[in-house]
Structure 1
Amino acid sequence: MKGLFLIEPLVALYSFASFLVLPLVQQYVYRRLWQELTNTTYPVSANASRCGPSNTSSHHEDVQKAASLFSLYSELFSMIPSVAVTLILVSYSDQRGRKITIVLPLIGSLVYALSFLAVSFFELNVYLLIVSSFVSALFGGLGTFLGGCFSYVADLCEDGQQKTLRMAGVDMVIGLLSGLASISTGYFLQAAGFNWPLFTVAILHCVNLLYAVFVLEESLKPAPDDPLGSSPLRNAVHHMACGVYQLFAKASRRRNILLVLLLLLFISFAFANIGGLSLITLYELNQPLCWNEILIGYGSALSTTVFLTSFVGVMAFSRCGVPNLAIILIGILSVMIAMTLVSFAKTTLVMFLGALFACVACLDTISNGVASIVFSSLYAVTVAWFPGFCFLLSAGLCVIPLALLVGVGLLEVNEDKEPSDADAIIPGEEDLSGYDNETPPLI
């Protein structure tokens, strides 16, 4: 049977399953730690509030510290293997096919979902979730999967306009399904507990895996005489190094400086934004908000509107003639305002306003992991005297990408002539054609 070249159903199911389980993790860990540290049952009924007089602030502080440290360990043990596998697999897929970057992360997600289900059903040690995070990271992660899917789309498109439209469609699918999953999580959890949502996630990943293996057609066929099969790891790393070299080769000093500034801008912004977002659920569970699972689901859904609004916003600003640097500036300022609002939020309304301002671009795996580790450790230290400190720090760190953005703007203003092809930020295909038949030297 001839396979299909439709990646959208795969992305849809993966997005729904992933965003169905993400809000569950911190809530499950929080409830288990609450029971262990306070020797009391976690209050979930309408008549028993965690913020009532019977539950002192010291209980909240102890549980918050333990939960943030749990998040630190989980991110630490999953980030390193995930980053390494992502770099190797995405580079390897450029020669050997995209499906490996799609199938392996699905296996890892299935392993994690089944492990989470086992811990919840049999009430095993909650720290086994850290072990399962490490094991699933060996198969790649979200960055690997999305990188493979967008590369798959790029392989199928014949021109830039078609590529942009289809990638925007994939982005919209992620936004719609992730928002739907986030809203569903709260109601699902309230009605059926943790086991049934986790079982549903495992089933969805199984269906997705079957589709990816047996239905989805490979978009990139390796050449029959391709020698890469003899040493895939070595050649993948070599290909990645060559790509980095080609990015900076045959270019002016000004272009390289501009590229470095843009990379630093992206990384610093990602660090500040993801660092704050990774702790939102813990902050919502703490006093004085004390959100239940329904409100947490709506908050998560609101934050996923980035996938729906980012493309529409950029397209609207571009049609109105707004410069690219101004669009970036708007995004950074929105995060600064959002994190500042969250740091002093005492009511549900202010928290939702912060989530609205936090509609920004999707960020990479490295910044995600490192930021979560750093901010989780800081939250554990500061939760006793000022729980909003990490969000205030996140807003302050946005000054770094703002300063880098000013540097980029000054470089563009001082440019007296139109940049040539060699001065473009990313060399065109014609600039790289000289390397087709020879390997560029590695520096």
Structure 2
Amino acid sequence: MNENIERNNTGKIKFVLFSLIGLVVFFVKLPFGETSTVPIDMIVGIAKTALAPVLPYLVLAIGIYGMYDVFIKQKSYKGGVSNIIMSICKALGFLMIVLVVFNIGPSFLMAPDIGPSTVKILGGSVALVAAIGAFFLPLLLEFGLADAIGVFLRPLMRPLFKVPGKSGVVAVTEYIGNFSLGHIAINKMYKNGEVTGKEAAIIATGWATPSLVTFMVFANMMEIMNYWNIYFLVVTLAVTIITFITIRIYPLRNIKNDYYPGVTPIEEKVYKTNLFKNFWAEGVKKADNAPSLGKIELTQLKNILPMLGGMMTTGMFFMAGGLILKTYTPIVTWIGYLFWPFLSLIQIPDITVAMQSCGMSILDSMFTVVVAVGQNIDIATRFLIAAIPPCMIVFLSGFVPCLLSTEVPIKFYQLIMLWFIRVVLTILLIGSFVWLFF
């Protein structure tokens, strides 16, 4: 009896302590220099500064592990057509990393704003964010918080978005935090049997924005910070509506609703009464049965390394490749014409600039806004352009390689289709708003 009471007390302490630390690290803004930000952003910023001289070599080292994982450990190149294509992209991306790090590449790759810039972004904005985020993520997922929040979110998440309630905390984490953190978290839940492949794909593509911080960057670059509260609320509503629609149409609708092969499914309990009591009970139970933090972190390290390897190599291929296409070919401009009918329908001002932004969005979320910076364009167009990156979710330089490095069962062509659908829906939803209010 005493042993059970002691275990229960330990579970309560772990649930409360680790959950509070996790919430503070990811969501509570604290003073930092002349501004304020969440602790994880502080840690990433400090790490970027401290490791700046060696970041290219960090990218190279992770890329080497990525090649080992693809061609020796996992041998994923022996899979289907998609696996073969992605393995080729990873190999080419790794070659590009080597050329840039050792400064021996061709001039079109070695241009400062192409190869070197890409390696810098991969090292500081991708690798460090993913690695540091993965270290703290178990505080939100492994000690009861996700399970406890699921008690409240299930009545909303299941009927509206066809996913378990506990995945709601991942959705919030990736929406406010960063898509890479969400991908790591949902991949873990999928492999644990907590969600199916379809549910994992829905969460991984539904709310996985670049981060709340970048929302501010987009708004600032488009000079609409005086509309910040409206911008954030409208974008959040648009992301929710777009996700509600996309899970009910192809391609997400057709992904198999199967659990990870060989895993025992963990069904989520449904509570209709005593929600607060069950919130506490579910959290304590999960924390009580959780392994030690040390064991969890070792497992997390094993899971994150293959993902980082894929993110560095495919990220290099897609981002640097996209920049090369943008600089030396008209292809990206042509892509923009796909959105002309929808932009015309909502009568957006400065339609040429809006088309260019839409075409650039497939390469990188930031490119969408960069193309319009400094141009004298209408406030309605600026608001729309600032809203496209967080609403579209999918882009080649970071999101796609990050998600394809997980075991979530979604294909490259399905992600490209999702990108197009989400951009179109963003144009129609945000465009209708700016048409009415600006």
Q: Which range, TM-score by smaller chain?
A: under 0.3
**TM-score, length of structure 1 as denominator length:** 0.25
- Tell me: higher relative CO, structure 1 or 2? Use CA pairs within 8 A at least 6 residues apart: 1
Structure index of larger Rg: 1
**TM-score, length of structure 2 as denominator length:** 0.25
